Structure formats: C-alpha cells, structure tokens
Structure 1
Amino acid sequence: MLALLCLSLVSLALGRSPVVHLNYASYHGRSTSEISQWVGMRYAAAPVGDLRFEGPQDPPVATGLQQATQHGALCIPVAGKRNAAIPSNHAEDCLFIDVYAPTEAYLSNASLPVYFFIQGGGFAALSNPNYNGSGLVQASGNNIVVVTFNYRVGPYGFLASEEIEQGASLNNGLKDQLKALKWVKKHISKFGGNPDHIVIGGDSAGGASVTFLLSAYGGRDEGLFIGAAAESQSFGTVLNVAESQFSYNRLVTRTGCNETENTLECLRGLDVSELQSENIVTPLPGAPGNPLYLYSPTIDGDLVQDHTYTLFQQGKFIKVPVIFGDDTNEGTIFVPVGTSSVGQAEEFIKDQFPSMSKDQMIKIHKMYLNKNQTKEFPNAGPYWRPASNAYGELRYICPGVHMSSIYAAAGVPSWNYHYAVLDPDDDTKGFGTTHTVEVNAIWGPDYVSTNPPDSYYTSNAAIVPVVQGYWTSFIRSLNPNTHRVASSPRWRTWGDGDDAYNRIFLRTNHTRMEKVSDEQQERCNYLISIGVELRQ
C-alpha cells in the first residue's frame, strides 16, 4: 500500500491530474507532490434565464471528464455608472467552487479539517476573487483543506420586493453560500476533507455573511459547520421586503419594464447586458446621496428573521467557537479623503445609515466630529479621519466587540483581535491599518489576488507566520493556540464580567494581549445601543 501511494505521488508530480468523481460530474485538476487543486467546479446550476432571481439549483449532470484547472467566471458586480459593460471574466453564470488539498491527503482518503472562505465586497461585488488556498494549506503543515467560491451579488443575489417574494426568491446570495456549504458537506471527503469538521470564515461582507449564517433561520443548527471566524464583519443597513421595494421599482423603471404587465418576467427576459447597463447605486430612502453599497440581505422572516443585532441579543444564533476582529482604521478607505467639513462627514454617515436621527447624529458629532480629532495628512481634508473613525467603529469595530461579548456571555469560546500592523506608506498617507488588510497575513501575500502592501515582503514579513499560525490552529482545533507559532503569545478568550474585553493586538514584533480601552468601550456601548434603530 505504501509503495502504491509513493508511486501515485510520483505520477502526480510528473503532471498527472487528480480526478474526483462526484454524483453529477467527474473533475480533474492539477497537482504537485505537495498540493492538489480543483478550480472552476460547478456547485449549482447556471442562474440564468428562468433561474435569474431564483434560489440556487442542483448542478446539471455532465458527461465525460470535466476540466477543473481554470477559475470560473466571477459574479457580475454593481456597475460604477450607467451603460457600463460587464467586466471581463465576469458572467451571470458564475456559481463555481475551488478546493485546495494536500496531495497526500487526497490520495490517502484522509479526513482533514476544512476552511470554507466567504469573499467580501459589500454584497455588491466579489472583492477577494480566486484566492489561492495553497499557502494556508502549507502553513498548516498540510493539515487542512481550503475551499473558496463565488456567490451572486447586487440585484442578481439580493434584489427584494413584493414581486420577488411572490414570484422568485429572496436572499439568493446567502442561499448560494448555503448551497456551496452543503456541497462541501456532501463532497469534501473525496478531496481529503472531513465533512464533520468545517470552519467557515470571511472578511467584510464575507464576515457579515458569517453572522448571517450563524443566525440563519433563527439560529437553527443544521450541522454544516463547527466554528466560525469573521474578519472586519460588516453591519450595514438591512431592510425588510417592503422597505426594499424602492430598489426594485427604480430598476424596473430604468429598464423600461415598468411599462409591462409582469415586471418580474420582463426583468428575467432582459439580456444580461441590458440589465447590467442599469445596475447602478441609487440613494437609500431618506438619504441625501448614494450609499457605498445599495444591496444587502433582506429580512424575509425565514432565512433572515430580523436585524442581526436583534437576533444575537435574543440568543438566536448557532453556538460554536468563534473569532471576531477588526483593523485599527476600518473607515479610511471608505470615507472620501477630501472630507473637509462636519457637514460633509455627517452627509457621508447619513448616506449609509439614513434612519439615524438628529439626536443620534449630535451624539456622533460629540464623540467623533470635533476639531480635537482632526488631523492633517497630505492631500486630505481635516475631517477625513474623524469621519473614518466614526464609520469604522459604527459599521465594523463595535459590532465585532458586541459579537464577542454575546458569545462569551453564552459560555461559548470567543476570541477577538485588533489588527494593528503598520505599513509605512499607508501610515504616512493617513490610511493607517486599513479595512481587511489582514487577509495578506492570513493567506500570505503571494496567495491573494490583489496587490499586498510591499511591507508584507519586507518589514512586515514576520507577521505572516504568526497570523497563519493562529488561523490554521483555529481551523484545525477550534482554538487559535493549539498549533500557534511557538514564539507567539497565547491568545486569551474575550472573557466575561470583570474579565471581559480581552483581545489580541497583532503588530509585527509587538503582538500581545490588550484590553479594549475604556474610551472605546464607552463609544461602542452607545453605538451598539442604537444599532437596531439604524437597521443593523
């Protein structure tokens, strides 16, 4: 048996492709002696034609051996302007999944822990496309399997209205995620993964997706995953079906479908280029200008039963070990750099959270938008950083603080991080430690699809193995400490009562435990208290 395994490894190293036989198709990928990968596999049918705006369906049966050596098309994003063309390498037919596994584990039918990663992008785009899981697999000592995938965004995944509710399906982007997760549960053993040890993770909207999956169907545990790690989890405005009707009405008007008897049938019948030409951002009701992101999951009374804050405060969430965390300067990449007045800062916040009352805005002003917090940076307005601080804590940092507290209070292991790695260029420009920059450390700078800061190859290279040690340890054992790098400090749990608010401070050569400051606790307590009113 050992000789056969060695012969198989040699054959793979010489270029023979690994083949997996699923119940609907057979896929062959590519291998080295260390890592095998299968990319561009269908996990659901193409959501086109009559399946536009429908929940994901089973993939069709495919005969013959299917190639799994090239990534599938990405899902179409919300356009930056009217009449924009569909970006290259994007299509409506986009529900593809990728698997990265140790070659030996695949060949020996091992049963390794699985990491299921959900991309971010504000539910408007896929901002972490085609990350290469090989780096994480290697960082784990070849002891995990990594899965990445696409899901529908914008109106293709999150259009909501009475017409959609009655004649199609709501929250299809989240349903795509669940479909992919069930695909992993069913098929991952064929790749060397353990279907009973799946840890979900994601960044930004992917982190928000983690919270939506934790509270899906009111926290009904279907045994799809046993741990979760949310990076910079986003808590944006979430509307119900009636409140979302405006976006549907505007879309049918812009496309001319308002002149037809069946507007949903008309939208489905549009050529995708016609639909995409009008797939733009417009203001939320009551907002002075456009939000950063128009579409998001919708409260449907079923999959998403209420606002995220409400569900977790009511205990309607799956109780599994969790990681939540954020970056020091979550808001700087979002707020316009030229923000030069209090009025501009307030307008930006109101565009994202139009239900914010005058009294709440006055409180925000007192906490953040005062002259004492203005800073001068090259080519930047003085209120850029104050507005960024407000937005970063409102949408990202304080929700993460609250999630950790909720889990700790429920007696579930909960870890929180403060990512504070300083990149010299970003620090000089005033951006600081930006939103989701930690993906470069988690995945490794050679394995992400965007351009990492140069310092991750030089002055910040040492943070990569430390962070990967914590993450792969959590994936493997549901504890970031079990397999951490020996020289790195123990990451204590968040704690409860008098011992609460403990988080790890991640910075190159200065990683340590810290306690959330009293000042940030006070700001977060207020922001959390108004979260439901802001529809978070």
Structure 2
Amino acid sequence: MQTDETSAVTGPRTLTVRVADGAVRGHAAGSVFAWMGVPYATAGRDRRFRRAAPARAWDGERDCRDRGPIAPQAKAMQVPIDPGLAQDEDCLSLNVWAPRPAEEPRPVMVWIHGGAYCVGASSQTVYDGRRLAETGDLIVVTVNYRLGVFGFLDLSSFGEGFEPNLGLWDLVTALEWVRDNISAFGGDPGNVTVFGESSGAGAITTLMTAPRAEGLFHRAIAQSAPATSVYGAVRAAAVASRFLELAGVAPSEADRLHELPVENLLRAGDELLDEIVTTVPGTLAMAPVVDGDLVPRYPVAAFQKGVAHRIPLIIGTNRDEASIFRLTRSPILPVTADTVTQMFAAIADDHPDMPPSRIAEVIAAYPDYTKPTGAMAISRDAAFRMPCLWIADAHCRHSPTWVYRFDHATPMLRAARVGAGHATELPYVFGNFGTLNMDPTFWLGGRRSAVQVSGRVQRRWLAFAAYGVPAALDASKHWAPYTEESRSTLLIDKTDTLVPDPDAALRAAWGNEVMGFS
C-alpha cells in the first residue's frame, strides 16, 4: 500500500507505506522521502538485559517525521548529538531514506554507527542519509541499537535473567526487519550492504562470522574496525563482577539490576569505563563477547579459519587514526609511550605462552616509539590497521576484497595535527560537511578538494552497493581487488593512488598471528 499527499507547489510531501506492524508516513526530504524513528523491536525496562521483543503493532498511520529516542549512553564520552533527543531504554528504531518506489527494486545500504560500543546514535546529523539516497538512487537505513551497560555488558554469569551481546542481537533483529519490510519502500531484500565505522564496523566484522547473521546482508564496508576488541567469557565475567561492585549490588542480588534507575546504571558504567581504559590501556570496558552462540569464536581468528561469510568486502583505516584521541585526551587509545608499554605488558600477561621477543620486534619497528608520533602509530596499528590487514589477508582467499587507506585532510586538520584522524572520513561518505557546531574543518580552506574527494568516495561506496564492485564510474583511478600477491591498497587523497603492499614492513613486524586481548 502506498498513499501520497501532494502540494501543487512543492510536489509530493508525504508517502505512506505499510510494513508488518502498520502504516508509516514518510515526509519529503529533497528528492527522496524520509521515515524517521520506525520501531523495529521493543526493549524497554521489561526487556532490560534480555533480547528485544517484537515491535508492537499500531492502528492507523504512524507519522514518522521525528527521530526516535537514542540509547542510554555513557556521559564519560561525548559525541555530537542534536539537542532535544531523549534517551530511553526503548530505543530500537531505524530511519529510512528512499526514492519513490519504482518497478525495479533498489539496492539497500544499512548504516551501523560507531562510538566504542557505548555512545552514538543513528540520528547524528552527519549520518543523514538523504544525499546518499539521492546520489545513488537507492535506499539508506540507519539503525539505533542498545549500547554500553544495556547493550554490551555481559552479565550472563549471574543467571538466566541476563543475556550477552544484546547490541549485536539488536542489529540482527534490525537486519531481519530490513529483510522482511524493505520491499515496501521499494528496496531489494536480496541486495543489502551493511556499512559502518569504528565499533559499528567492528560489529560488522563480528556479524560476518556469526552464523545467525548469514544471508541478512550481501556486501559489507568496514571503516576503521577495531576487530580484535572482542573478548572472552572469563574476562566478561570479571568485568561484570566489577560493575556490580560499582553499582553497589551483591552478586547474590544481581536481579536488582533489573529495577535500578537508569541513571544509577549509567553512573556505574562510566566508572567502569574510566577504570578499565586506565588500568588496561587499549581495551574497552564493554564490547562483543565470544558467547558460543551468536559469536562462536574470536572474529579475526574466524576470518583466518575461512569461516566468515563469503561476501564482497571493503575494509580500511585512516592514516592518522590515533590523533583525535590525543587531541581530545580520550583514554580509549593509549597515545603515550608509558600507556603503550602498559598495553603490551597487559597483552603479555594475557598470553603467557607468547615469546617476549615478539613484542620486542613490534616495538623495534617504531624507532620513535618514545615520542608521541611513535606511540600513536603503534596504537593506531594495534587497534585498527593490523586487524584490517589480518582480515583482508584471510578474506581475499575466497571472496572479493578491497582495501583502502583514507589519507585526505583539510589544511586546518593538518595544522591542528589531526590529519586524517579517526572518523574524519564520515562526512566524505555521507556528503554531510559542517554538521558540528563551530566546525573548524574548512577554516583554512580546502572545501573544493574535500567535496571532490567526497564525490569519489560516495561513487565508489554506492557502486559497490549496487554492483559489488567499488568503481567510481568516472575517470577516477581503477581500484583493483586486494590479493595476497598484490595487496593493492587505494590511498584516498586529493587524487587516488593504488599502491602495492604499502604496509609490508608493518606486516613483517607484527606477523600473521593475532595480537590482542582475550
């Protein structure tokens, strides 16, 4: 069912379609329509620490003009969230941008936002999908999912009232909703590309190894994925025990967590976050867990064993990933020689069988290790670059794989020593520059080049979603697939450059065996 409301001056103003739970009314956004805050499941207090329940059906038309509530999240980390957006445990909604349905179903892109698994929202302005939907003549979906204490704290060691990996289960449920409902918007449920950044990309690389998620998406783009930030059950139980201490709850009374105010749980979660990143640099307090069910094994190891979903993959990182963490003094990444040394000591403790010489060989590859630039390089490579290469080397053995490094930075970002820092590629992907208050990106110029770079990135991402090959469909540099022989890597800057194996020395120093925390 489709119904329109049309203005003689502006053309169609609304478009109503019917999904499984009822009719949803979208509103014109440029040349496409937008449906905001569409429920795909429900997870209020009655589902706290449990997998979500199906969304409640509604009568009549649901007006989808406003964005839904965002997930309750850490206050210790700040991300640019528009004022006026409420936080609510029942936050499981998604947003859809789509042209008017046509005879032929269109490709679908599903965005998974980042934020260290504890902050962020699909409604952040930078993730507005209108420009991508217009440029690519396809459908863009952005998803809210549970975060932090409510989404990635594994309390299952305290009884059947708690389930692990709830944020990941939310994403599986959202992808099932897309499979079952996107045709109402003119989308093709058999041509779904997931794309995401940071922990959103980490969720993607994890779901690529989850049997439960197989067939729910057909291509993947992982931007700066911290793919090794997935931990074991023993570590998860220890973190959960510490959380209970901080929340003032005895282990025998863990069920009290179901009734405590949200604010109390968030406060304890913030204390936990600060404590863990300080005592064990390079780790996250709350992240996906190997649970033997949704996540049967460590994802990078699963890629190396050849059991990841055999789908086309774009994966890459930014040249200066760690710079933004130093600028904002965020403890999420170790960016000093002392904290990097502390990280390696913790890895050695976690892997007593690992030869001490291995860590020494890695450190020796960074002659300026004792300086901020060297420490940031090690941190960048441990968290992002090496996981990317480990996955690419494994995945390309059986599935089309493309690797990139995003190098572009405006004059202002270079002057501020941010460069191509973590997340700086986001406005290039969505075409949404200037979404921050007092955005300094173009204070020293560079807009024209940035817009050109953005156009190439968008064309490649959109072509990949439509056809499975990231061609820019213009005179841009051909992007050859990554193979173990060529290791062709696209360096994205004012001009794109295809370079064979630019990280040869890096790979030699780190080796093929995954180095991370269990």
Q: TM-score, normalised by structure 2?
A: 0.88
The answer for the alignment partner of 1:37 in structure 2 is 34
Q: Which runs of 5+ in 2 are unaligned?
A: 78-82
Q: Any idea what SS the aligned residue of 2:303 has?
A: helix
Q: Any idea what SS the aligned residue of 1:279 has?
A: helix
> Contact 1:465–1:485 (CA<8 Å) still a contact in 2?
no
Q: Any idea what SS the aligned residue of 1:137 has?
A: helix
- 1:269 and 2:255 are equivalent in the alignment: no
* Distance (Å, rounded) in 1 between the aligned partners of 2:60 and 2:348: 51
The answer for the alignment partner of 2:489 in structure 1 is 503
Structure 1 residues 286, 115: CA separation in 2 closer, same or farther (over 3 Å shift)?
Answer: closer
The answer for the alignment partner of 2:218 in structure 1 is 226
Q: Any idea what SS the aligned residue of 1:166 has?
A: coil
Letter in 1 for 2:431: G
The answer for the alignment partner of 2:80 in structure 1 is none
Deviation at 1:23, TM superposition (A): 2.2
The answer for the alignment partner of 1:493 in structure 2 is 481
The answer for the alignment partner of 1:435 in structure 2 is 422
Letter in 2 for 1:57: A
Q: 1:315 aligns with which of 302, 306, 316?
A: 306
1:18-417 to 2 correspondence within 5 Å?
Answer: 18-31=15-28, 34-45=31-42, 47-80=43-76, 89-103=86-100, 105=101, 108=102, 110-126=104-120, 129-130=123-124, 131-140=127-136, 142=137, 144-163=138-157, 166-217=160-211, 222-258=214-250, 261-263=252-254, 265-280=255-270, 281-282=272-273, 288=279, 293-335=284-326, 342-347=337-342, 355=350, 359-368=357-366, 370=367, 373=368, 383-410=371-398, 412-417=399-404
Deviation at 1:524, TM superposition (A): 2.4
> Contact 1:285–1:354 (CA<8 Å) still a contact in 2?
no
Letter in 2 for 1:529: N
Structure 1 residues 478, 262: CA separation in 2 closer, same or farther (over 3 Å shift)?
Answer: same
Structure 1 residues 346, 11: CA separation in 2 closer, same or farther (over 3 Å shift)?
Answer: farther
* Distance (Å, rounded) in 1 between the aligned partners of 2:476 and 2:116: 33
Q: Any idea what SS the aligned residue of 1:91 has?
A: coil
* Distance (Å, rounded) in 2 between the aligned partners of 1:435 and 1:237: 16
> Contact 1:329–1:392 (CA<8 Å) still a contact in 2?
yes
Q: Any idea what SS the aligned residue of 2:215 has?
A: coil
Letter in 1 for 2:18: H
Structure 1 residues 38, 434: CA separation in 2 closer, same or farther (over 3 Å shift)?
Answer: same
Q: 2:458 aligns with which of 436, 443, 468?
A: 468
Letter in 2 for 1:41: V
Deviation at 1:99, TM superposition (A): 0.3
Structure 1 residues 456, 37: CA separation in 2 closer, same or farther (over 3 Å shift)?
Answer: farther
How many pairs are equivalent? 499
> Contact 1:25–1:63 (CA<8 Å) still a contact in 2?
yes
Letter in 2 for 1:160: D
Deviation at 1:351, TM superposition (A): 7.2
* Distance (Å, rounded) in 1 between the aligned partners of 2:341 and 2:328: 14
Letter in 2 for 1:413: P
Q: Any idea what SS the aligned residue of 2:279 has?
A: coil
> Contact 1:440–1:452 (CA<8 Å) still a contact in 2?
no
Q: Any idea what SS the aligned residue of 2:189 has?
A: strand
The answer for the alignment partner of 1:521 in structure 2 is 504
Structure 1 residues 262, 67: CA separation in 2 closer, same or farther (over 3 Å shift)?
Answer: same
**1:263-288 Cα distance to aligned partner (Å, 9 max, x none):** 1x200111112222222134788973
Q: Any idea what SS the aligned residue of 1:363 has?
A: helix
* Distance (Å, rounded) in 1 between the aligned partners of 2:201 and 2:64: 27
Deviation at 1:24, TM superposition (A): 1.5
Deviation at 1:127, TM superposition (A): 6.1
> Contact 2:70–2:87 (CA<8 Å) still a contact in 1?
yes
Letter in 2 for 1:342: A
Structure 1 residues 282, 417: CA separation in 2 closer, same or farther (over 3 Å shift)?
Answer: closer
> Contact 1:207–1:232 (CA<8 Å) still a contact in 2?
yes
Q: Any idea what SS the aligned residue of 1:30 has?
A: strand
> Contact 2:27–2:33 (CA<8 Å) still a contact in 1?
yes
* Distance (Å, rounded) in 2 between the aligned partners of 1:71 and 1:466: 29
Q: Any idea what SS the aligned residue of 2:396 has?
A: helix
Q: Any idea what SS the aligned residue of 2:389 has?
A: helix
Structure 1 residues 413, 64: CA separation in 2 closer, same or farther (over 3 Å shift)?
Answer: same
The answer for the alignment partner of 1:377 in structure 2 is none
Deviation at 1:289, TM superposition (A): 5.0
> Contact 1:489–1:512 (CA<8 Å) still a contact in 2?
yes
Structure 1 residues 243, 341: CA separation in 2 closer, same or farther (over 3 Å shift)?
Answer: closer
> Contact 2:322–2:335 (CA<8 Å) still a contact in 1?
no
* Distance (Å, rounded) in 2 between the aligned partners of 1:110 and 1:165: 49
Q: Percent identity?
A: 22
> Contact 1:288–1:350 (CA<8 Å) still a contact in 2?
no
Structure 1 residues 8, 96: CA separation in 2 closer, same or farther (over 3 Å shift)?
Answer: closer
Letter in 2 for 1:189: S
> Contact 1:26–1:64 (CA<8 Å) still a contact in 2?
yes
| Between 220-229 and 9-18, the greater mean CA deviation after superposition | 9-18
* Distance (Å, rounded) in 1 between the aligned partners of 2:422 and 2:263: 32
Letter in 1 for 2:413: D
Q: TM-score, normalised by structure 1?
A: 0.85
**1:289-316 Cα distance to aligned partner (Å, 9 max, x none):** 5656311000101111111221111111
Letter in 2 for 1:363: E
